[in-house]
Amino acid sequence: MGLCYARGMDTNTQGQAPELESPQVGNQEPASVDGAQDAPKTFDEAYVKQLRAEAAKYRTEAKALADKVSAYDAERMTEAEKLQAQAKAAQEAAEAARADLRQAKVETEIARSAAKLGIDVDLARRLADIAWEGDNPTGVESSINAALAKWPHLKPQPVMAGATNPARARALTMDDIRKFSPEEYVARRDEINAAVTQLAGG
């Protein structure tokens, strides 16, 4: 009995392919192609190092250029300050030279007026009322004359040299002094003062 049942079963299944469970594809969607494109790109380590090295190089070059511009600006400012200092020094030197020139002209005019009026140069300097026309003194002699007219006792009386008091050899005379140039007045100021004092009886 058992064998016959087995044969019966073989008879019924003979010639038929075994049933296989087919995959259910009706509800599944195919894999998206776009999904592969959305994946993030990756680079190898060597390429990343190269990019970093180039970035560092550009940063170094940019800093070097910025430092160079700053140094140039500082150097240019330093040159401007030097020029300003030189200009200031030149202006001060010009003002000092102008003051010296004015003083020399005043001293020359006072010495000339003192010699002409026969008074001491120091006295003439105290009596002079100096006005200016540009860098030239004016009114020196006239102001001294006005002061002597107001105070005549300030003008020394001439002393005649006697036999016991002869004049010194080659002493300056008023004519000599009147012939002096302004430069000679300045150069021989002490000699002129001594001569005027002597002629005035001092």
pLDDT at 159: 53
The model's pTM is 0.41
Collect all residues with Cβ–Cβ distance below 8 Å to 167 and sequence separation of at least 6: 161
In the predicted model, is pLDDT for residue 4 greater than 50?
no
Alpha-carbon span 117 to 111, nearest angstrom: 10
Q: What is the three-class DSSP state of 133?
A: strand
In the predicted model, is pLDDT for residue 93 greater than 60?
yes
Query: Which of 17-21, 63-67, 80-84 has the least mean pLDDT?
Result: 17-21
pLDDT at 7: 45
Of 74-83, 125-134, 178-187, where does the model show the most confidence? 125-134
The encoded tokens of residue 103 equal: 């003083």
Alpha-carbon span 172 to 191, nearest angstrom: 8
Q: Which amino acid is at 77?
A: M
Instruction: Compute the radius of gyration of the chain from its Cα atoms.
Output: 60
Element (DSSP H or E) covering residue 115:
helix 45-117
In the predicted model, is pLDDT for residue 170 greater than 80?
no
In the predicted model, is pLDDT for residue 114 greater than 60?
yes
Beta strands in the chain (DSSP E): 131-133, 136-138
pLDDT at 108: 92
